[in-house]
Each structure stands twice: as C-alpha cells, then as structure tokens.
Chain A
C-alpha cells in the first residue's frame, strides 16, 4: 500500500513536470507559420519536446529510483520484438495509406510529379530522417514508456495503464494541436476539443503498440524505433498516392479527414496489439493490491 502511494505520488510529480514544461515552452516552438528563427529556439525545443524525458529523470532522482538500464537495448534474444517494432509501424503506414486514398477519393496511382521515383525518393528520404527522429523520440519514450506506463501498470493493471497512459500522452499534445494544428489541422468543427479527444484515442492505439514492443524486448529502444518510424516513414507513405496539390493544399478540413484516417489506422493496429498484450502479460501485471490478494488466497 505504501509502495502504491509512493508510485502514485511519483506519477503526479512526473505529470506536473512534463506538462508544465510542454505548456510553458510548447507554444513558442509549435507555431503555424514555422517562423522559429530565433537564437534560443533549440533550448526551448529541447525543454518542450524532451519534457517527458526531463520529467522522468527528475522524478527518478527525487524518488531515488536510480537510472540503471534506462536505455539498455537488450538486442540478444529479442529479435521478434525488434522485428515487430519495424513491421507494426509499416502495417500502420500501409493501412493509413489505403484509408486516406479511399476516403479522399484519390485512387491507387502515383500522383506525385515524377511518379514512382519521386514517391520512392520521398520515402527513402524519410527513412534516413527517421535516424534523426529517433534521437528526438528518446525524449518522449524515455518518459512515457520507461516511466509512466511501468508505474501505471503497477498501480492500475495492464489495461488501465494503456488507457490512462494514452490519455495522458494525448493531452500532452495540446500545445501543438492548438498552435500548429498537429495531425488534424485547425479547420474543423469543434476545434480544438475534438482534435484533442481524437489525439487521446490515437495515442491509446499507438500506446498499445509501443507497450507491446517495450514489454517484449524489455527495453525502451524498441518503442523508440517504432515511434520514429511512425513519425517519419509511415506518415509520408500516405502521400504516395495523393496528388501534389492535395498534399500542399490542406485547406477545407482535408487535414482533419486525414487525421481521422490516421486515428482509425492507429486503432486497427493497436487493438490486436492490446489483445496480444493481454494474452502474454495479463497474469504478470496485476495491480499491486491484486497481487497481494492473490498471494493471500
């Protein structure tokens, strides 16, 4: 019981720090017109984008939990987990691609100027970009997966940790949703509340994927790879079949439709992962009280 209180307190401290940093510095970094050419931009960016990582490190230091093995890769014996960390985002990317193409009525043909070579070039460029994104994503995953989800699972159990973790992760995105129209744009009914709600749903779906690869590999590196691929390659895959003017002109709620497709794709990939997560790890991840009562019985 004492441990649970301590864990709940550490979760509260973690959320306060990560949200405070994101809400304070996020509006300066995430702007619509992309005009971020000022000297302190990178410091502000690190404080906002790495806020979950900073919160994790500070909370661990405050509660004397140590930092051992935080970024340890554990490649040996876990090839399936690392394979899934690549395959699952790609599956999401392809589903997303199909949904966007069908819902926008683009049809399956390479519409970018330059045809298949341009489309291939764009995606290859994004695949290289994912190495850089991985470094940025360390800032998120070190907080969400290596700290929050583990703690939530200890306190509330596996399923609740996926849902609560997804909502907390989704709400953390409020500044970019409000200031730069992240994923859903700014031109839709119910802005920004609907976007925030959909973001929470999307993060719950992705959360299940990330938590599955995290638990399978017993390392935070696998979710970092998966997250980086989602943010780079998978999001550009969808543009392969869209006409150039459709990609550049996102006015009239087009971005919102694409955002909904992204949310649905995240759920389509996330739900089977959630089921798999339950099958594999449900017995081992009862909340602290549950474990105690089981032992007593």
Chain B
C-alpha cells in the first residue's frame, strides 16, 4: 500500500508543497498582524485575539488541505490503469486504502501546522494557547466530508464526486446569502445574540474552556456529543469498505 501512497503523493506533490508553503506563509503573516494590533485593541479583547487568530488560521488551513485531499481522487482517472492496479498483487484494497490513508495523513499534517501556530501565538502573547480539541474537531469534520466524497468519487468518477461537493457548497452559500439579505438577522445582531455567543465561544475555545464546558453540561448530552467522533471513525471505515466493493464498477465510468 505504501507504494500507492507514494504514487499519489508524487502526483499531488507540487500542489501539496505549494499549499503547505502558502499555509506557513499565511500563518506567519496572521501572527505578525496579531502581534502588531495587540497593543491597539482594548484590554478585554486581548484574550480573544490569539484564539481568534488561531481559529481563523486553522479554518483557512483546513479548507486548503481539504482541497488538496479532493485532488487525490483525480490521481487515478484512467480505466486501464485502474484495471492494472486492481489486478496487481496488492489488489483493490491497497489502491483504495492508500487514498483513505493519504487523506488522513494530510489532515494530520494540517493538525500539526495548526499546533505549530499555537506554539508561535503562545510565544507572542506569553500565555499557553492550546486548541487541540478544536483542531481534532476539524480533522473529524474533514474526515466526515471525505468519507462521502471518496466513496462517490470512486463509485461514480472523480468529476461526479466534485460536482456533488460543488453543488452542496453553492447550495449552502446561496441559501445563506438569501437569508442574510432578506431574512430576520436580529438573533445575530441583538445584545446577547449569536454575535455575543460567538465571542463567548472564542473566549472558551481552548482546551481548558472546552473541558469546563463539558463539565457543565449534563452527562447524557456529553455522551451523545462524544459519540460523534467515534461514529465518524466508523463511517470512514464503512466508506472504505464500500469503496473497495464499488471500485471495479466505478472504473467503468472513467476515461479510457
């Protein structure tokens, strides 16, 4: 399987290197901006600033790495190559497993970059900043999306998988925009509304804050929330098994 991972890495290497360098550059830029405006903002916002910077950077990094993960689907688009790789000694499981493993490796790489950002922000603001729970949440979210996308991509072809993703994103953006323009947004803007909740969330998004929040809410609710990551792990595995089964039929949709 490691051979197939290396093959996929080799194909996406340029984009991966470029995106990683871009993320690191953006991280440094964001951290410099955070350090510069540190003295300009009111004292009560100083605690929110590093968290906001870390969250913005993390969201940005994960979107970029998610797009790189989507590219993995485009590494095998030829029917003849797929027939060859499926007939090789490693078999379909290795070919499909390599894609799922590489997606996870890339999410993990993104997690490490975010943790590096935490270390830099901790040094700038001279306080311990750890958002590992939030980053793990993002890793699970990306894995959740990839579980669907990899299956649809393998079963119906990479373009079909991408079309589903684009349709979903466009749908969400259009609906959101229509609501923002014509809907009732008072619940966001009013005092104690969503905007203030977001501020509270930013202040308590680090690991200590999440722990505190989890301790506050009832045990049954915690159990349900905590089931989600395990379900995503199970879903990822089920998606892999289904993709193995659908691989041969899926390749019929590919180009010759």
Q: CA of A114 to CA of B223 in the docked complex: distance in angstroms?
A: 13
Pick out which of these stretches binds chain A: B9-17, B30-38, B213-221: B213-221
Which listed residue, A40, A72, A117, A127, touches B220 by the CB 8 Å rule? A117
Which chain A residues lie closer than 8 Å to B195 at the CB level? none
Which listed residue, B93, B115, B123, B226, touches A128 by the CB 8 Å rule? B226
**Smallest CB gap from A116: residue in B:** B219
Per-residue 0/1 for A113-155: is the Cβ within 8 Å of any B Cβ (1 yes, 0 no)? 0101111111011011001100100000000000000000000
Q: B123 near A124 (CB under 8 angstroms)?
A: no
Q: A120 near B127 (CB under 8 angstroms)?
A: no
Which listed residue, A39, A43, A124, touches B226 by the CB 8 Å rule? A124
The A-B contact count (CB < 8 A) is: 71
Q: B122 near A124 (CB under 8 angstroms)?
A: no
Q: A58 → chain B, closest Cβ, in Å?
A: 19
Q: B222 near A124 (CB under 8 angstroms)?
A: yes
Q: A42 near B222 (CB under 8 angstroms)?
A: no
Per-residue 0/1 for A20-49: is the Cβ within 8 Å of any B Cβ (1 yes, 0 no)? 000000000000000011111111000000
Q: B133 near A132 (CB under 8 angstroms)?
A: yes
Cβ of B136 within 8 Å of any chain A Cβ, yes or no, is yes
**Smallest CB gap from B237: residue in A:** A75
Q: A42 near B214 (CB under 8 angstroms)?
A: no
Q: A39 near B223 (CB under 8 angstroms)?
A: no
Q: B144 → chain A, closest Cβ, in Å?
A: 14
Which chain A residues lie closer than 8 Å to B220 at the CB level? 117, 120-121
Q: B223 near A121 (CB under 8 angstroms)?
A: yes
Q: B122 near A125 (CB under 8 angstroms)?
A: no
Q: A37 near B128 (CB under 8 angstroms)?
A: yes
Q: A121 near B119 (CB under 8 angstroms)?
A: no
**Smallest CB gap from A36: residue in B:** B128
Q: CA of A259 to CA of B111 in the docked complex: distance in angstroms?
A: 34
Which chain B residues lie closer than 8 Å to A131 at the CB level? 136, 229
Q: B219 near A37 (CB under 8 angstroms)?
A: no
Interface size classification for chain A? 20 to 34
Which listed residue, B93, B222, B226, touches A76 by the CB 8 Å rule? B93
Q: A79 → chain B, closest Cβ, in Å?
A: 12
**Smallest CB gap from A41: residue in B:** B128
Q: A125 near B119 (CB under 8 angstroms)?
A: no
Q: B180 → chain A, closest Cβ, in Å?
A: 33
Cβ of B2 within 8 Å of any chain A Cβ, yes or no, is yes
Which chain A residues lie closer than 8 Å to B93 at the CB level? 76
Cβ of B132 within 8 Å of any chain A Cβ, yes or no, is yes
Q: B118 near A132 (CB under 8 angstroms)?
A: no
Which chain B residues lie closer than 8 Å to A43 at the CB level? 119, 123
Q: B222 near A121 (CB under 8 angstroms)?
A: yes
Per-residue 0/1 for B120-138: is the Cβ within 8 Å of any A Cβ (1 yes, 0 no)? 0011111110101100100
Q: CA of A132 to CA of B114 in the docked complex: distance in angstroms?
A: 14
Cβ of B230 within 8 Å of any chain A Cβ, yes or no, is yes
Q: A42 near B118 (CB under 8 angstroms)?
A: yes
With A76-B93, A114-B218, A118-B219 as contacts: A128 and B128 at CB distance below 8 Å: no
User: Would you give 19 A-B contacts (Cβ < 8 Å), ordered by A?
Assistant: A38-B127, A39-B127, A40-B123, A42-B128, A43-B119, A76-B1, A114-B219, A116-B219, A117-B218, A117-B219, A117-B223, A118-B219, A121-B221, A125-B214, A125-B222, A125-B226, A127-B230, A132-B136, A135-B111
Given contacts A73-B101, A117-B223, A125-B226, 12 further A-B contacts (CB under 8 A): A38-B127, A40-B123, A41-B122, A41-B128, A42-B128, A76-B97, A117-B220, A118-B218, A120-B219, A120-B223, A127-B226, A132-B132
